[in-house]
């Protein structure tokens, strides 16, 4: 058995959007009827659910608006009329939901008063709550400033320490280079001293040899004269 929506619309996709819209419409109508009986947190939750249902209805209207272009012109007149009725219904739901959401006395319950000329006790309590909230905010702000100042001071100390460590590292590196250079000088000095010692030993041997030869020559000359 054919669906009457398919026959009227001439488009299965548009018909499915229309069926979904009617389900959302029924759900939204039920929620709007329930909200006036609620207050406080249940009322807030119901209003949030109504807003989500309105968003879903708007999405379905947008999908139907696009799908209308694919419907033959012969069937489009009826479709346009039903679509305009849907838009009118959604606008009506939106205004009603906004009105219910703006009813702050019902939304916040006994905690809210819309009478600026309320009794002295109510005004005093509200003033004390405001002053208490302001005082807490001031204390929180001061703690935040103190924490920020401490963080800045810690950061400055850390930066100074890093700078000192960098300077000390440079000094240690420079001292290490000097020690390496000094070690090179010591090695060269040791080699020079060893060379000088070898030359002195060689010169001593040569000197002793020359003296020995001279003494032998002297003895030889003397011996030749008295022979």
What is the average pLDDT score of the chain?
Answer: 81
Q: Provide, rounded to the nearest whole percent, the portion of the chain with pLDDT above 90.
A: 23
- Per-residue pLDDT band at 84 (split at 50, 70, 90): very high
Can you read off the two tokens belonging to residue 139?
A: 């204390």
Can you read off the two tokens belonging to residue 206?
A: 């040569």
pLDDT at 119: 47
Q: Using CB atoms within 10 Å of the CB of residue 8, give its burial: 0 to 12 exposed, 13 to 18 middle, 19+ buried.
A: middle
Question: Residue 54 in contact with residue 94, Cβ under 8 Å?
Answer: yes
Measured distance CA(46)–CA(29) in Å, rounded: 12
| Residues 182-221: tens digit of each pLDDT | 888 888 888 888 888 888 889 889 999 999 999 998 888 8
pLDDT at 156: 82
Average pLDDT of the segment spanning 107-130:
56
Question: Residue 10 in contact with residue 60, Cβ under 8 Å?
Answer: no
Measured distance CA(91)–CA(112) in Å, rounded: 29
Find the farthest-apart pair of alpha carbons in the chain and give their distance in angstroms, rounded. 167
Listed residue (156, 168, 21) closest to 86, CA to CA: 21
Listed residue (52, 56, 60) closest to 83, CA to CA: 60
- Residue 223: is its pLDDT beyond 60? yes
Q: What is the DSSP letter of 10?
A: S
- Residue 50: is its pLDDT beyond 70? yes
Q: Say which residues have a Cβ less than 8 Å from residue 122's Cβ, sequence separation at least 6.
A: 113
Can you read off the two tokens belonging to residue 67?
A: 């799908």
- Coil, strand or helix: which one is 38? coil
- Residue 110: is its pLDDT beyond 60? no
Measured distance CA(220)–CA(214) in Å, rounded: 10
pLDDT at 154: 81
Can you read off the two tokens belonging to residue 82?
A: 């039903």
DSSP 47-98: HHHHHHHHHHHHHHHHHHHHHHTTS-HHHHHHHHHHHHHHHHHHHHHHHHHH
Measured distance CA(65)–CA(86) in Å, rounded: 11
pLDDT at 106: 53
Q: Taking CA 157 as the corner, what is the angle to CA 155 and CA 159, rounded to the nearest 5 degrees?
A: 70
Can you read off the two tokens belonging to residue 23?
A: 């389900």
Measured distance CA(82)–CA(190) in Å, rounded: 111
């Amino acid at each position: 058995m054919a669906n009457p929506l398919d026959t009227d619309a001439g488009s299965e996709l548009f018909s499915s959007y229309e069926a979904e819209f009617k389900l959302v419409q029924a759900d939204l109508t039920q929620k709007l009827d329930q909200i006036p009986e609620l207050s406080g947190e249940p009322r807030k939750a119901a209003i949030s659910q109504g807003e989500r249902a309105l968003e879903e209805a708007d999405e379905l209207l947008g999908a139907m608006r696009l799908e209308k272009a694919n419907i033959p012109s012969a069937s489009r007149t009826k479709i346009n009329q039903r679509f305009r009725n849907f838009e009118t219904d959604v606008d009506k739901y939106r205004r009603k939901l906004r009105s219910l959401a703006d009813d702050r006395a019902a939304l916040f319950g006994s905690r809210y008063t819309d009478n600026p000329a309320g009794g002295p006790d109510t005004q005093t309590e509200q003033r004390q709550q405001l002053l208490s909230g302001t005082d807490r905010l001031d204390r929180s702000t001061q703690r935040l400033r103190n924490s920020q100042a401490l963080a800045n001071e810690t950061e400055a100390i850390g930066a100074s320490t890093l700078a000192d460590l960098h300077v000390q590292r440079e000094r240690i590196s420079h001292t290490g280079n000097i020690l390496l250079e000094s070690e090179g000088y010591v090695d060269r000095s040791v080699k020079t001293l060893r060379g000088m010692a070898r030359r002195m030993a060689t010169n001593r041997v040569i000197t002793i040899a020359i003296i020995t030869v001279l003494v032998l020559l002297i003895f030889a000359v003397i011996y030749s004269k008295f022979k």
